[in-house]
Amino acid sequence: MTFTDYLITAPFVIFFFGFCIFIHELGHFLVAKWRGLHIIAFSIGFKKIWGFKHNGVDYRIGCIPCGGYVDLPQIDATGEPKDENGNPLPQIKPIDKILTAVAGPLFNILFGIALGTVIWIWGVPETTPHMQQIEVHDIYKYSPEYKAGLRQGDIILTVNGEPFDSTWEDFVRNIFFTIGKVNLEVQRGNEKLKITYTPKPNEIRTPREKIAYPFFSPVIPLQCNIVPGSIADKAGIKTGDIITKVNGEKVVGLNEFDVILRRNRGEAFNFTINRDGKEIEIKGVTPTLLKTGKRQIGVGLAPVLKGVIDTVEYPVSEKTTEGKQTEKTAVSQNQFKPGDHILQVKSLPLGTPVTINNIIYESEEAPISFTLLRKPKTQLKVNAVFPLDPDRKEPTASLSIIYSYNEKQICATTITPGSPAEKAGLQEYDKLLKINGQPITTIKEFIKTVNSGNGKPITLEIEREGTISTVSIIPEESYALENLGINMSWFAHPSPWQQFVRVIDMTYKSLRGIISKNSTLKPRHLSGPIGIFRGLALTYHHGGLLKALSLLVLITYSLAILNIMPLPVLDGGHIVLAIIEWIRGGKSLPAKIIQPVFMIFIIFLMSMMLYVTYFDSMRMTSINKKYRFIPTQNTGGITGDKTEIKDDKSSGIELKSLKKVQEVK
């Protein structure tokens, strides 16, 4: 998501996230009113920036959106209750404290039930259908799953001895919630096998989080929902059919199927479907092309990705002299240096943060060429070998790269075969600098210019491998296929109770994983207000309203569960103290005992808030990935081409004029 996308989704996120907090505090407020408690303030957020007073209550809005509070001095167990003017207030009954404290989490649950009912009725979209078995599409060769014996084509039947009926997301969640070893039962041909492995952090798929995401991908069944009376319905395709091939080619996921549809220009489809275990051919399904009234050149666009080397750590060799003094020397120098910008890897620009990953895993440990920009004005080519086996014993160096997107520069990410862009010679990851002589700063601006030309040729100034050139492209009319009536959308309709039980289960498994030594879950995986805001924004942006409401159900239930925990400062802690007071015949625990305990937990909770906020902030900025490589065995560095750059832009990436200087020995 771009910064603009966050701004667009901000009203939704602020309203609903704020409402989760508001409804919680409203519960405290209403019950306190009902029980006759003295209320000083009702605040959403901390550090007041605006407010008003009504009937003796100060209603506030704070500038720190990390929660809210109702100031109820008679609930405070750390001293004698006093009003805002310092006047003593009468003690209240323990039952009043309990009811007031319970009301906050209760209102969160009621709000969750209300939202959950909407989800129950309308359904929540899911990324895959529910699967009772999962076929392995591909698997990383050096993963713990592969070493344990899992192979491409294996069909997973059970996880930890239990059958499943879940989406791929739920299956993944089951894996990284597992404590200790994962036990899979798989079908391979006519043979059933038991595969046991210990999950490891998957830095390929989750570079930031480093959780035990599976090192294999599934075959996602393309299970159809057919619109009655549609082209697909008339052709004989039925709801529940699974498309396995299109025009004789196997398709294993929604993305592949979507690409096939987008490339069609009115040709008939031949579908191979699986219906109740039987293979059926449906031929001659002819779509109708519809004019969109727009123009296109057949290019996918994205912000330019920048990769900068953050840290480099080389191994140290030890040599003992005759005097038994140990001399430590670096194995290699000048191969990579902090601050180097990565321009290309194997002559390819960085497309996504997984570009280097993919090149490394496809290299099979052959040397990989990097083109680096080393300031002030040096372009350098170096080679490095990246070991794939994580258990490799020989000394390796490490390379940490920070990835970030330049929102003011865009590049081509995909080129549609046969499109005007391909005919003009445009290639993937070409930087698009100008259109019709005007600088390109946003994707929206680029698309608007293409559409406004009424089919007239456009002139693009592009940059490829440091060379700037100009191409002329004639946009073609954009067409869309008439809806075939094949909906690859899957909806779940969990009841509010099922949603509540799911949150309790996830909370328990998350806390269990965080405190266990045999889990990849860590405290850094928790989310604070910033992480929740980002999660809601991403979900709303990519998944729509119903998906975002489903996440809100999880958030409001989680707030209820968190606050009801019997910890000082939280609602659950006040309930425990009120129960103790009740048992003691209305006598409170001494303030000298309660105050230090409260202070310890306040410090602990604030520290945790700062801790998770730090990681939340890191998730919103750049991606930092670490790679291992085998350094050269001489101290003079690695052979490569060194080039001086005459015109060095401030970004350190745009290269216009190059002059070859020398070869580094």
> Quick one: pLDDT band at residue 656, thresholds 50, 70, 90?
very low
C-alpha separations of 392 from 106, 389, 641 in Å: 53, 5, 30
How confident is the model over 293-327, as pLDDT tens digits?
Answer: 788 888 888 888 889 998 888 877 555 555 454 44
C-alpha separations of 448 from 181, 302, 438, 443 in Å: 53, 15, 13, 9
- State phi, psi for 489 to the nearest 5 degrees: -125, 140
* Residue 134 pLDDT greater than 90, yes or no: yes
3-state SS assignment for residue 441? coil
The arithmetic mean of pLDDT across residues 419-425, rounded, is 90
State which of 94-108, 433-447, 458-472, 639-653 shows the largest mean pLDDT. 94-108
Looking at per-residue confidence, does 104 or 323 come out higher? 104
What is the reported pLDDT for 377?
72
H/E run at residue 471: strand 467-473
* Residue 104 pLDDT greater than 80, yes or no: yes
Tokens of 387: 């070991």
- Please, what is the angle between helix 94-122 and helix 496-515, to 10°? 110
What is the reported pLDDT for 662?
28
C-alpha separations of 327 from 1, 315, 321, 394, 493 in Å: 50, 13, 7, 20, 67
What is the reported pLDDT for 635?
36
Percent composition of the chain: helix, strand, coil (DSSP 3-state, to 5): 30, 35, 35
Q: How many residues does the chain have?
A: 665
* Residue 29 pLDDT greater than 90, yes or no: yes
3-state SS assignment for residue 499? helix
What is the reported pLDDT for 646?
40
For residue 483, give the DSSP letter.
P
Mean pLDDT of the chain: 83
How confident is the model over 543-567, as pLDDT tens digits?
Answer: 888 888 999 999 999 999 999 999 8
For residue 590, give the DSSP letter.
P
C-alpha separations of 84 from 51, 78, 81, 89, 180 in Å: 16, 16, 10, 10, 53
Q: What's the angle, vertex CA 149, arms to CA 145 and CA 153, rounded to 5?
A: 90
For the chain, give every domain's residue range.
1-123+495-572, 134-218, 222-297+481-487, 299-474+627-664
> Is the separation of the CB atoms in 628 and 401 below 8 Å?
no
Q: Which long-range contacts (CB under 8 A, 24 or more apart) does 324-328 make?
A: none
Protein fold of 299-474+627-664: Pdz3 Domain (2.30.42)
C-alpha to C-alpha distance for 631 and 386, rounded to whole angstroms: 9
The arithmetic mean of pLDDT across residues 262-271, rounded, is 83
* Residue 233 pLDDT greater than 50, yes or no: yes
**Domain 222-297+481-487, CATH number (from 3.40.50.360, 2.30.42.10, 3.40.630.30, 1.10.540.10):** 2.30.42.10
Name the CATH superfamily, with its identifier, for domain 134-218.
PDZ domain (2.30.42.10)
pTM: 0.75
Q: Do domains 134-218 and 222-297+481-487 have the same CATH topology?
A: yes
* Residue 155 pLDDT greater than 80, yes or no: yes
What is the reported pLDDT for 152?
93
H/E run at residue 442: none
* Residue 331 pLDDT greater than 60, yes or no: no
C-alpha to C-alpha distance for 327 and 329, rounded to whole angstroms: 7
Question: Of the given ranges (122-136, 389-403, 634-648), which has the lowest mean pLDDT?
Answer: 634-648
* Residue 496 pLDDT greater than 90, yes or no: yes
> Quick one: pLDDT band at residue 333, thresholds 50, 70, 90?
low
The arithmetic mean of pLDDT across residues 352-357, rounded, is 82
- State phi, psi for 428 to the nearest 5 degrees: -60, 140
What is the reported pLDDT for 657?
30
Sign of the dihedral defined by the CA atoms of residues 315, 319, 324, 326, in that order: negative
